[in-house]
Amino acid sequence: MKKTLISGIVLTTLCATAQAENPVNTDVYGSLRIGLDHIGANSNDDGLNGRDFLSRVGIKANQQLSDTLQVTGQLEYGMDADIKQKNEPRLRLANVGVKGNFGAVYYGSQTTLWHKLVRGAYFSDGNDSLRQGAIRDDDLIQYYYQQGGLLLAAGLQAEERDGDDIDQYMAGAEYQLGALKLQAAYSKDNRGNNKGDLLGARIWYKINDAFTLSALSHQASKDYDLYSGNSSGDVKTDSVKAVSSCSAEKRATHALYAQYRFGANMLHSRYAINQCDDAGDADSVKVEYVRFISKKFRTWLSYEYITQDDDRLEVASAGTAKASEENISAIQLGARFDF
């Protein structure tokens, strides 16, 4: 609540102090992403569910202070995972930034550079299974510098009164050359007693206007527990976390992805495997069809099938998440409208 209030005051101040020669530009935006899913698992929740797939609404503001210096602010809220009248919006982003010839610096609640570079979801629901790391976090300072096809990024996190001045260090890079794009990122867990490492890389290759290929690899040491295992937004309902995490273990995630676009249609698929030293493997196959009704409105239909080793299921049973069947299926039918 305190962070939200501070961010709101900052954005309001930006707008209120604008001068005629340096106006504040504001943009209210939103994305409605709602639909249905059916989870096939050994649970009372096995069935058809109304879902909100990370809908959000927000405001962006920027002010040009000089020819080479700009200040920015952003405040964004997201809906809950289920479609209910009484669910309250949740804070997603609340940050301020400065842009110039030196690059761009942002502070506050924001999307992590790890997610931007090596974790971003391939599919419409925004919760692509079996990825590691986190989408967003609080109290981040992140720096980006772009020069031609090269992007350099660095960041740190100061959060919680836990005796650590810095809870996390991050660094990353992206290089684009024609149809090829290479991405890499690193996260250092500096919270508590464990000081583990998380490394990730992703590659994109656009064969032509129709075909795109991608692959990713994430590697985490056993003492990297900043986000308690995968923290991947795995296929789940209220009472079922379909894929259990394996924190306190050395783990790796690998995925292959292919996309084919034809006219107003897109068909894409992905195979991913998450490997844990003791808990065993979990693998996922997902296929999705997207129909673009317009630039702002689209619908999608997806199917995912997940299998887990027996050891993985025992880990889930011993934890807070309910154990599910070894094989799990998920079907989604959704619509997205951006404005």
The domain that holds 169 is classified in CATH as 2.40.160.10
Task: With H, G, I as helix, E, B as strand and everything else as coil, classify residue 210.
Answer: coil
pLDDT at 268: 98
Q: Considering only CA atoms, which of 252, 245, 250 is closest in space to residue 315?
A: 245
pLDDT at 247: 73
Q: Considering only CA atoms, which of 157, 160, 259 is closest in space to residue 211?
A: 259
Neighbours of 34 (CB within 10 A): 15
Whether the Cβ atoms of residue 78 and residue 64 lie closer than 8 Å to each other: no
Domain that holds residue 302: 2-338
Identity of the residue numbered 277: D
H runs (alpha helix) in the chain? 2-16, 113-114, 310-318
Q: Considering only CA atoms, which of 217, 216, 213 is closest in space to residue 205?
A: 213
pLDDT at 249: 83
pLDDT at 8: 55
pLDDT at 21: 67
Rounded Cα distance, 303 and 326, in Å: 17
Residue segments in the chain with a per-residue pLDDT below the cut of 70:
1-21, 42-46, 81-82, 86, 160-164, 228-245, 310-326
pLDDT at 130: 79
pLDDT at 60: 97
Residue 242, sorted as left (phi over 0), alpha (psi -120 to 50) or beta, turns out to be alpha
pTM: 0.84
Domain count, the chain: 1
Residue 220, sorted as left (phi over 0), alpha (psi -120 to 50) or beta, turns out to be beta
Please give the angle made by the CA atoms of 40, 287 and 303, to the nearest 5 degrees: 20
Task: With H, G, I as helix, E, B as strand and everything else as coil, classify residue 219.
Answer: strand
pLDDT at 158: 86
Whether the Cβ atoms of residue 11 and residue 59 lie closer than 8 Å to each other: yes
Task: With H, G, I as helix, E, B as strand and everything else as coil, classify residue 141.
Answer: strand
pLDDT at 70: 96
